[in-house]
Structure 1
Amino acid sequence: MGTPLGNFIRAKRDSIQPESLGLPERGRRRSPGLRRLELATGAGISVEYLTRIEQGRDRNPSPTVVNSLAEALGLDPSERNHLRYLAKITGGECAVQIRPVPPSRQVRPSVLRTLRLLEPGVAIVTNRLGDILARTSGFQSVTRGTGLLDVAQPNLNRYLFTDPRARSFFVDWDDVADEQAFDLWQAPSLENLEWLTAELAPIAGPEFTGRLYSRVIPRRGTLRLSHPDGHQLRLVRETLELASDTQQLVVFLPADDQTTEAIAELQHESHDPLRSFS
């Protein structure tokens, strides 16, 4: 059986493209991501030792090994903190009591100013739990009538897994659900993740929990939306990490001329200003 630390390391290894770390291509790969040999070499440990950590057979790697793995994986500051936390609870066999807490909903003023510069484009600020913290009027136009923004504190995961309208709105609902669940599983804050799962699991059921723990690596293709007004939208997503805030600025760009025209029509019918949900 794996451990929180081993599962996290294995998932990150699987999700990393070798070329992003400057590693040369060494023939065809049987699975995505880094090979164990590549990560072990980068961290200065043996492949056998890395295997024991990933499989949960070694629960007490030293701080030096944990830091070396974080460096070899190219983790950002939030992920490094999460890795150290997982090492702590794994070493103590989960003796640390996890206290579920909601994440901060505050968006820095400079981020909100950046979002305004993107008007009338389609963009949001979100955290790793799927809370939509701020959005442009363009995002409001694209989602109008879907129910996503009808609540005071909209959350993409809550909408995706509990609102029947989501299955019509997201053409590739299964792929989007896999994406969201995978991102949740890698959430930097275990306390925040426990908070969301404690709330969401009872009402979302196995559609949510099954995906959360299956660790399916998502495809992340073009996002296809079926708007209630009849427009079919194809969007390319560009995600900018706000590492110090554990938030993301996500920009949705039209993938074709038909989508560009459809968004223009939707915006013409809606005049909502930029809004923060903090």
Structure 2
Amino acid sequence: MGTPLGDFVRAKRDSIQPETLGLPDHGRRRAPGLRRSDLAVRAGISVEYLTRIEQGRDRNPCPAVVNALADALSLSRAEREHLRHLAKITGGVCPSHTRPAPPSREVRPDVLRTLRLLEPGIAVVTNRLGDLLAHTDGFAALVEGTGLLDGDPPNLTRYVFTDPRARAFFADWDAVADERAFDLWLGPSVENAEWFAAELAPVAGPEFTRRRGHHRVPARGDLRLRHPSGPTLRLRRETLEIPSDAQQLVVHLPADDATARALDPLGPRQPGRLQAVS
């Protein structure tokens, strides 16, 4: 049985062409990408040890080995952070047949007060599972008619992979789907993420399972939305971490003048009716 760490190392190795690292082309081979022996040499470890890591038989490589693998794979900064995170959680992953307690849906009063100050802006409190915990009226106006808030409780990840309306709403659906699948690796806890993924996989199908296994670090560019009222909106997202609660406050800002003009009639003009999702 593999591990998240081993799966990521193997996926990255398979995606690298030897010539991009200045290595000779050994001709046709059965599998694409970098040979295990070449990666082991670059990382300064044995092929047998690399095999154990990739196959999940070694769950606790030391930080020096993790850093050496990151260097050998020429990982970006975001990919290096993901590799270190996977190394951390892989060492503590133990199969469990007991469902963990769900992450708290409570949003602290001070966070709700912050949301209220953002009215009539577009802001939402969420977690890495995609649970939508509280939002401004501006957010509700933005997603009205899309079905995003129809879930009980609403969840962005489940919406993206199971509601056909999501493909019409998100102009760059593939990029958003990559983000949602990747974020499950980040919490709120390993146990919660694993249970959520296991429940979602049968209904979401290969579009979800393939992305979750790829460990592709998303670019997180502007969000392009095809609003039901007609205009295509381009929004920047500012994410403020609330680490004590494993939540995020996400503020959506117009990325261009056309979007700012289109949003003006959508939002409420008076602040007030803050929406908390129990």
With structure 1 as the length reference, what TM-score do the two structures score?
0.72
- 5+ residue gaps, structure 2: 12-19, 23-42, 71-76
Identity of aligned residues (%): 53
Structure 1 counterpart of 2:171: 171
Give, as a single letter, the amino acid of the residue that structure 1 aligns with 2:126: T
**2:266 alignment partner, SS class:** helix
Give, as a single letter, the amino acid of the residue that structure 1 aligns with 2:90: L
Q: 1:54 and 1:122, CA in 2 relative to 1: closer, same or farther beyond 3 A?
A: farther
User: 2:224 matched to 1:224?
Assistant: yes
**1:239 alignment partner, SS class:** strand
**1:230 alignment partner, SS class:** coil
Structure 2 counterpart of 1:39: none
Q: Report the CA distance between 1:194 and its aligned residue.
A: 2.2
Take 1:10 and 1:119, find their aligned partners in 2: how far apart are those partners? Answer: 46
Q: Is the 8 A contact 1:99 1:191 kept in 2?
A: no
**1:238 alignment partner, SS class:** strand
Take 2:10 and 2:103, find their aligned partners in 1: how far apart are those partners? Answer: 25
User: 2:277 matched to 1:274?
Assistant: no
Take 1:126 and 1:140, find their aligned partners in 2: how far apart are those partners? Answer: 14
Q: Is the 8 A contact 2:122 2:252 kept in 1?
A: yes
- 5+ residue gaps, structure 1: 12-27, 31-45
Take 1:132 and 1:201, find their aligned partners in 2: how far apart are those partners? Answer: 20
Take 1:230 and 1:272, find their aligned partners in 2: how far apart are those partners? Answer: 27
Q: Report the CA distance between 1:2 and its aligned residue.
A: 4.6
Alignment of 1:1-278 (within 5 A): 2-7=2-7, 47-48=44-45, 54-56=53-55, 59=58, 61=60, 65=62, 84-89=88-93, 94=94, 96-97=95-96, 99-101=98-100, 102-268=102-268, 273-278=273-278
How many residue pairs get aligned? The number is: 237
Q: 1:127 and 1:257, CA in 2 relative to 1: closer, same or farther beyond 3 A?
A: same
**1:48 alignment partner, SS class:** coil
Give, as a single letter, the amino acid of the residue that structure 2 aligns with 1:185: W
Q: CA RMSD in A?
A: 3.4
Give, as a single letter, the amino acid of the residue that structure 2 aligns with 1:136: T
Give the number of the structure whose alpha-carbon radius of gyration is greater: 2
Take 1:106 and 1:270, find their aligned partners in 2: how far apart are those partners? Answer: 25
Q: Is the 8 A contact 1:5 1:87 kept in 2?
A: no
**1:106 alignment partner, SS class:** coil
Take 1:241 and 1:29, find their aligned partners in 2: how far apart are those partners? Answer: 36
Q: Report the CA distance between 1:6 and its aligned residue.
A: 4.1
Give, as a single letter, the amino acid of the residue that structure 1 aligns with 2:276: S
Q: Is the 8 A contact 1:152 1:277 kept in 2?
A: no
Q: Report the CA distance between 1:140 and its aligned residue.
A: 0.5
